[in-house]
Amino acid sequence: MAGRALSFAALIPLVLGFSDTQPFVTWSSHRSNILDLLPSKLATSAHSVSLLNSILDHDDICDYDAVVLVEQPGLHASDLRTLDPSSNLAKLLESAPSSRQFPYVRYEAAEPFTNIAESLSRRCGSQLLSLTPGGSGPAMESGSKHVVCMKMQHLKGVASNRKAAMADHESRLSNDLDAIATLFPKYLVIFTGSPSHLSTRQAPSEFDSPPPSFLGPTFAGNSTVLQEGGILKRYQILTPGLITTLLIVLFVIVPVIMLGISALASIQLPLSSEVPKGFDAQEKKVQ
Protein backbone atom coordinates (compact mmCIF):
# COMPACT_ATOMS: atom_id res chain seq x y z
CA MET A 1 0.00 0.00 0.00
CA ALA A 2 2.80 2.39 0.93
CA GLY A 3 4.61 1.50 -2.31
CA ARG A 4 1.54 2.36 -4.37
CA ALA A 5 1.13 5.64 -2.54
CA LEU A 6 4.75 6.55 -3.27
CA SER A 7 4.29 5.64 -6.93
CA PHE A 8 1.22 7.85 -7.13
CA ALA A 9 3.08 10.73 -5.48
CA ALA A 10 5.89 10.36 -8.00
CA LEU A 11 3.48 10.52 -10.93
CA ILE A 12 1.57 13.58 -9.72
CA PRO A 13 4.15 16.09 -11.06
CA LEU A 14 4.03 14.32 -14.43
CA VAL A 15 0.28 14.86 -14.71
CA LEU A 16 0.25 18.36 -13.29
CA GLY A 17 2.93 19.24 -15.82
CA PHE A 18 0.17 19.40 -18.46
CA SER A 19 -2.10 21.66 -16.41
CA ASP A 20 -0.18 24.90 -17.13
CA THR A 21 0.62 24.24 -20.77
CA GLN A 22 -0.67 25.62 -24.03
CA PRO A 23 -0.40 24.63 -27.70
CA PHE A 24 2.01 26.62 -29.85
CA VAL A 25 1.79 26.35 -33.64
CA THR A 26 3.76 28.42 -36.13
CA TRP A 27 4.28 28.30 -39.90
CA SER A 28 5.42 30.47 -42.79
CA SER A 29 4.53 30.80 -46.46
CA HIS A 30 8.20 30.47 -47.49
CA ARG A 31 11.10 28.40 -46.27
CA SER A 32 12.08 29.99 -42.96
CA ASN A 33 15.44 29.80 -41.22
CA ILE A 34 13.71 31.09 -38.11
CA LEU A 35 11.41 28.09 -37.84
CA ASP A 36 13.81 25.52 -39.24
CA LEU A 37 16.26 26.34 -36.45
CA LEU A 38 13.67 25.52 -33.82
CA PRO A 39 13.88 21.98 -32.40
CA SER A 40 11.22 19.50 -33.46
CA LYS A 41 10.70 18.66 -29.79
CA LEU A 42 11.06 21.12 -26.93
CA ALA A 43 12.90 20.47 -23.69
CA THR A 44 10.74 20.22 -20.59
CA SER A 45 12.30 23.42 -19.27
CA ALA A 46 11.17 25.43 -22.33
CA HIS A 47 8.31 27.87 -21.88
CA SER A 48 6.11 30.03 -24.06
CA VAL A 49 8.07 33.27 -23.56
CA SER A 50 11.42 31.80 -24.57
CA LEU A 51 9.85 30.14 -27.62
CA LEU A 52 8.16 33.37 -28.70
CA ASN A 53 11.33 35.38 -28.19
CA SER A 54 13.42 32.91 -30.19
CA ILE A 55 11.16 33.63 -33.17
CA LEU A 56 10.53 37.36 -32.85
CA ASP A 57 14.09 38.27 -31.84
CA HIS A 58 15.59 36.64 -34.92
CA ASP A 59 17.30 39.00 -37.36
CA ASP A 60 15.20 37.73 -40.29
CA ILE A 61 11.80 38.47 -38.71
CA CYS A 62 11.58 41.89 -40.39
CA ASP A 63 12.02 40.32 -43.83
CA TYR A 64 8.39 39.17 -43.82
CA ASP A 65 5.65 41.19 -45.47
CA ALA A 66 3.36 40.28 -42.58
CA VAL A 67 3.82 38.70 -39.17
CA VAL A 68 0.54 37.44 -37.73
CA LEU A 69 0.18 36.83 -33.98
CA VAL A 70 -2.94 34.86 -33.06
CA GLU A 71 -3.90 34.30 -29.43
CA GLN A 72 -6.90 32.37 -28.10
CA PRO A 73 -7.66 32.24 -24.36
CA GLY A 74 -8.68 28.83 -23.10
CA LEU A 75 -7.24 26.94 -26.09
CA HIS A 76 -6.15 23.38 -25.25
CA ALA A 77 -4.15 20.83 -27.17
CA SER A 78 -7.22 18.62 -27.56
CA ASP A 79 -9.16 21.48 -29.22
CA LEU A 80 -6.74 21.59 -32.15
CA ARG A 81 -6.75 17.82 -32.39
CA THR A 82 -10.51 17.81 -32.97
CA LEU A 83 -10.15 19.82 -36.16
CA ASP A 84 -10.87 17.81 -39.27
CA PRO A 85 -7.71 17.09 -41.30
CA SER A 86 -9.56 18.47 -44.32
CA SER A 87 -10.12 21.85 -42.65
CA ASN A 88 -8.51 24.88 -44.26
CA LEU A 89 -6.24 25.52 -41.30
CA ALA A 90 -4.96 21.94 -41.26
CA LYS A 91 -4.30 22.03 -45.01
CA LEU A 92 -2.58 25.39 -44.70
CA LEU A 93 -0.27 24.04 -42.02
CA GLU A 94 0.42 20.83 -43.94
CA SER A 95 1.41 22.67 -47.10
CA ALA A 96 3.58 25.26 -45.32
CA PRO A 97 7.27 25.07 -46.38
CA SER A 98 8.33 25.58 -42.74
CA SER A 99 6.31 24.87 -39.61
CA ARG A 100 6.54 23.73 -36.02
CA GLN A 101 3.84 22.19 -33.83
CA PHE A 102 4.28 22.04 -30.05
CA PRO A 103 1.21 20.64 -28.27
CA TYR A 104 2.29 21.23 -24.66
CA VAL A 105 4.36 24.35 -24.01
CA ARG A 106 4.68 25.47 -20.41
CA TYR A 107 2.98 28.81 -19.91
CA GLU A 108 4.85 31.73 -18.43
CA ALA A 109 3.37 35.16 -17.88
CA ALA A 110 4.47 37.64 -20.52
CA GLU A 111 3.48 40.95 -22.00
CA PRO A 112 0.09 41.04 -23.74
CA PHE A 113 0.22 40.13 -27.40
CA THR A 114 -0.75 43.69 -28.30
CA ASN A 115 2.37 45.04 -26.59
CA ILE A 116 4.57 42.41 -28.25
CA ALA A 117 3.06 43.24 -31.64
CA GLU A 118 3.55 46.97 -31.07
CA SER A 119 7.20 46.46 -30.14
CA LEU A 120 7.78 44.34 -33.26
CA SER A 121 6.09 46.88 -35.53
CA ARG A 122 8.36 49.67 -34.22
CA ARG A 123 11.43 47.52 -34.69
CA CYS A 124 10.56 46.55 -38.28
CA GLY A 125 8.90 49.82 -39.29
CA SER A 126 5.67 47.95 -40.00
CA GLN A 127 2.06 49.00 -39.70
CA LEU A 128 0.28 47.54 -36.66
CA LEU A 129 -3.23 46.17 -37.03
CA SER A 130 -5.44 44.62 -34.34
CA LEU A 131 -8.17 42.37 -35.71
CA THR A 132 -10.85 40.00 -34.47
CA PRO A 133 -11.15 36.94 -36.73
CA GLY A 134 -14.34 37.18 -38.72
CA GLY A 135 -14.93 40.78 -37.69
CA SER A 136 -14.38 44.11 -39.36
CA GLY A 137 -11.17 46.03 -38.82
CA PRO A 138 -8.73 48.46 -40.39
CA ALA A 139 -7.99 47.84 -44.04
CA MET A 140 -4.65 46.27 -44.85
CA GLU A 141 -2.51 47.96 -47.47
CA SER A 142 -0.46 45.91 -49.88
CA GLY A 143 3.06 47.09 -50.57
CA SER A 144 3.89 47.87 -46.93
CA LYS A 145 4.88 45.59 -44.09
CA HIS A 146 2.35 44.72 -41.38
CA VAL A 147 2.25 43.19 -37.95
CA VAL A 148 -1.23 41.77 -37.40
CA CYS A 149 -2.42 40.97 -33.87
CA MET A 150 -5.52 38.75 -33.66
CA LYS A 151 -7.28 38.11 -30.36
CA MET A 152 -9.74 35.24 -30.75
CA GLN A 153 -12.73 34.80 -28.49
CA HIS A 154 -12.50 32.79 -25.30
CA LEU A 155 -12.94 29.03 -25.74
CA LYS A 156 -14.67 27.14 -22.95
CA GLY A 157 -17.40 24.61 -22.22
CA VAL A 158 -17.75 20.84 -22.48
CA ALA A 159 -16.08 18.79 -25.19
CA SER A 160 -18.99 18.77 -27.66
CA ASN A 161 -19.47 22.55 -27.42
CA ARG A 162 -15.75 23.21 -27.67
CA LYS A 163 -15.46 21.10 -30.80
CA ALA A 164 -18.29 23.00 -32.46
CA ALA A 165 -16.95 26.38 -31.40
CA MET A 166 -13.44 25.44 -32.53
CA ALA A 167 -14.72 24.55 -35.98
CA ASP A 168 -16.36 27.96 -36.21
CA HIS A 169 -13.22 29.72 -34.98
CA GLU A 170 -11.10 27.84 -37.51
CA SER A 171 -13.38 28.88 -40.37
CA ARG A 172 -13.21 32.57 -39.44
CA LEU A 173 -9.48 32.51 -38.85
CA SER A 174 -8.82 30.69 -42.13
CA ASN A 175 -10.78 33.30 -44.08
CA ASP A 176 -8.73 36.11 -42.58
CA LEU A 177 -5.46 34.26 -43.20
CA ASP A 178 -6.46 33.73 -46.83
CA ALA A 179 -7.02 37.49 -47.16
CA ILE A 180 -3.61 38.17 -45.61
CA ALA A 181 -1.92 35.65 -47.92
CA THR A 182 -3.44 37.41 -50.94
CA LEU A 183 -2.01 40.78 -49.95
CA PHE A 184 1.25 39.60 -48.40
CA PRO A 185 2.85 36.61 -50.18
CA LYS A 186 5.61 36.27 -47.59
CA TYR A 187 4.13 35.91 -44.12
CA LEU A 188 4.65 34.10 -40.83
CA VAL A 189 1.93 33.04 -38.39
CA ILE A 190 2.15 32.25 -34.67
CA PHE A 191 -0.97 30.66 -33.17
CA THR A 192 -1.01 29.94 -29.46
CA GLY A 193 -3.29 29.63 -26.47
CA SER A 194 -3.35 31.52 -23.20
CA PRO A 195 -4.89 30.95 -19.76
CA SER A 196 -8.56 31.72 -19.25
CA HIS A 197 -9.22 34.83 -17.20
CA LEU A 198 -12.86 35.41 -18.09
CA SER A 199 -14.76 36.96 -15.20
CA THR A 200 -18.04 35.34 -14.23
CA ARG A 201 -19.68 38.74 -14.43
CA GLN A 202 -18.89 39.03 -18.11
CA ALA A 203 -21.60 38.04 -20.51
CA PRO A 204 -20.72 34.99 -22.63
CA SER A 205 -19.88 35.70 -26.23
CA GLU A 206 -21.22 34.04 -29.35
CA PHE A 207 -18.10 31.89 -29.39
CA ASP A 208 -18.65 30.69 -25.82
CA SER A 209 -22.22 29.64 -26.67
CA PRO A 210 -22.25 28.37 -30.26
CA PRO A 211 -25.48 28.58 -32.28
CA PRO A 212 -27.79 25.51 -32.13
CA SER A 213 -26.68 24.47 -35.62
CA PHE A 214 -23.21 23.80 -34.25
CA LEU A 215 -24.50 21.64 -31.40
CA GLY A 216 -26.06 18.98 -33.56
CA PRO A 217 -24.45 15.79 -34.91
CA THR A 218 -20.73 15.45 -34.52
CA PHE A 219 -18.50 16.53 -37.34
CA ALA A 220 -17.10 14.07 -39.84
CA GLY A 221 -13.64 12.82 -39.12
CA ASN A 222 -11.97 11.04 -36.26
CA SER A 223 -11.15 13.32 -33.33
CA THR A 224 -9.21 10.65 -31.45
CA VAL A 225 -6.75 9.46 -34.08
CA LEU A 226 -5.82 12.34 -36.34
CA GLN A 227 -5.17 11.43 -39.95
CA GLU A 228 -1.94 12.26 -41.74
CA GLY A 229 -1.71 15.96 -42.44
CA GLY A 230 -4.00 17.03 -39.59
CA ILE A 231 -3.06 19.79 -37.23
CA LEU A 232 -0.90 18.66 -34.31
CA LYS A 233 -1.01 15.07 -35.56
CA ARG A 234 1.46 13.96 -32.90
CA TYR A 235 -0.93 14.78 -30.10
CA GLN A 236 -1.36 12.14 -27.42
CA ILE A 237 -4.68 10.35 -27.36
CA LEU A 238 -4.72 10.44 -23.57
CA THR A 239 -5.50 13.97 -22.44
CA PRO A 240 -4.22 15.33 -19.11
CA GLY A 241 -7.70 15.10 -17.59
CA LEU A 242 -8.08 11.48 -18.61
CA ILE A 243 -4.61 10.62 -17.35
CA THR A 244 -5.40 12.24 -14.01
CA THR A 245 -8.67 10.31 -13.72
CA LEU A 246 -6.99 6.99 -14.52
CA LEU A 247 -4.24 7.59 -11.98
CA ILE A 248 -6.73 8.53 -9.26
CA VAL A 249 -8.78 5.39 -9.93
CA LEU A 250 -5.71 3.16 -10.07
CA PHE A 251 -3.74 4.49 -7.12
CA VAL A 252 -6.40 5.95 -4.81
CA ILE A 253 -9.84 4.39 -5.27
CA VAL A 254 -8.66 0.83 -5.93
CA PRO A 255 -6.26 0.76 -2.92
CA VAL A 256 -8.99 2.17 -0.66
CA ILE A 257 -11.38 -0.57 -1.76
CA MET A 258 -8.72 -3.23 -1.22
CA LEU A 259 -7.92 -1.80 2.20
CA GLY A 260 -11.61 -1.93 3.15
CA ILE A 261 -11.92 -5.56 2.05
CA SER A 262 -8.76 -6.44 3.95
CA ALA A 263 -10.06 -4.71 7.09
CA LEU A 264 -13.38 -6.57 6.94
CA ALA A 265 -11.58 -9.90 6.49
CA SER A 266 -9.34 -9.22 9.51
CA ILE A 267 -12.41 -8.48 11.65
CA GLN A 268 -14.37 -11.54 10.60
CA LEU A 269 -11.46 -14.00 10.93
CA PRO A 270 -11.03 -13.77 14.74
CA LEU A 271 -14.80 -14.12 15.23
CA SER A 272 -14.93 -17.39 13.32
CA SER A 273 -11.96 -18.88 15.14
CA GLU A 274 -12.82 -17.67 18.70
CA VAL A 275 -13.33 -20.50 21.32
CA PRO A 276 -16.74 -20.30 23.07
CA LYS A 277 -16.70 -19.37 26.75
CA GLY A 278 -16.93 -22.31 29.17
CA PHE A 279 -15.55 -24.76 26.67
CA ASP A 280 -13.17 -27.28 28.28
CA ALA A 281 -11.20 -29.28 25.78
CA GLN A 282 -10.16 -31.92 28.40
CA GLU A 283 -13.77 -32.41 29.54
CA LYS A 284 -14.90 -32.79 25.95
CA LYS A 285 -12.20 -35.47 25.47
CA VAL A 286 -13.39 -37.47 28.57
CA GLN A 287 -16.98 -37.44 27.32
pLDDT digits (tens, 9 = 90+) for 186-236: 999 999 998 875 433 333 333 333 333 322 333 233 333 334 445 655 545
Max CA-CA distance within the chain? Answer: 117
Say if residue 13's pLDDT is above 60.
no
* Rounded average pLDDT over 110-119: 87
Give the type of residue at 221.
G
* pLDDT score for 231: 61
- The band of 99, judged by pLDDT with boundaries at 50, 70 and 90, is very high
6: in domain? no
- Give dist(CA 41, CA 43) in Å, integer: 7
Lowest average pLDDT, out of 9-13, 66-70, 151-155, 228-232, goes to 9-13
* Rounded average pLDDT over 170-195: 92
Say if residue 52's pLDDT is above 70.
yes
pLDDT digits (tens, 9 = 90+) for 77-94: 888 888 888 999 999 889
Task: Output the CA–CA distances (angstroms, integers) from residue 246 to 43, 69, 240, in the order listed.
Answer: 26, 36, 10
Say if residue 100's pLDDT is above 90.
yes
All residues at 6 or more sequence positions from 206 whose CB lies less than 8 Å from its CB, including other chains: 153
* pLDDT score for 33: 94
223: in domain? yes
Domain span including residue 199: 21-237
All residues at 6 or more sequence positions from 165 whose CB lies less than 8 Å from its CB, including other chains: 155, 157, 207, 208, 210, 214
Q: How many residues are given for the chain?
A: 287
Q: How buried is 124 (Cβ within 10 angstroms: 0-12 exposed, 13-18 middle, 19+ buried)? A: middle
> Which own/partner pairs from 166-169 qualify as long-range (CB within 8 Å, at least 24 positions apart)?
166/79, 166/80, 166/82, 166/83, 167/82, 167/83, 167/84, 167/87, 167/214, 167/219, 168/207, 168/210, 168/214, 169/72, 169/133, 169/207
* pLDDT score for 143: 81
How much of the chain, in percent, has pLDDT values that exceed 90?
A: 32
What is the count of structural domains for the chain? 1
5: in domain? no
* Rounded average pLDDT over 11-25: 62
Say if residue 265's pLDDT is above 70.
yes
250: in domain? no
Best mean pLDDT range from 106-115, 143-152, 270-279: 143-152
- Give dist(CA 212, CA 235) in Å, integer: 29
3-state secondary structure 26-76: EEECCCCHHHHCCCCCCCCCCEHHHHHHHHHCCHHHHHCCEEEEEEEECCC
96: in domain? yes
* pLDDT score for 186: 95
* pLDDT score for 195: 81
Specify the pTM.
0.66
136: in domain? yes
- Count helices and strands (H / E) in the chain: 10, 6
DSSP string, 171-191: HHHHHHHHHHHHH-SSEEEEE
Higher pLDDT, 173 or 226: 173
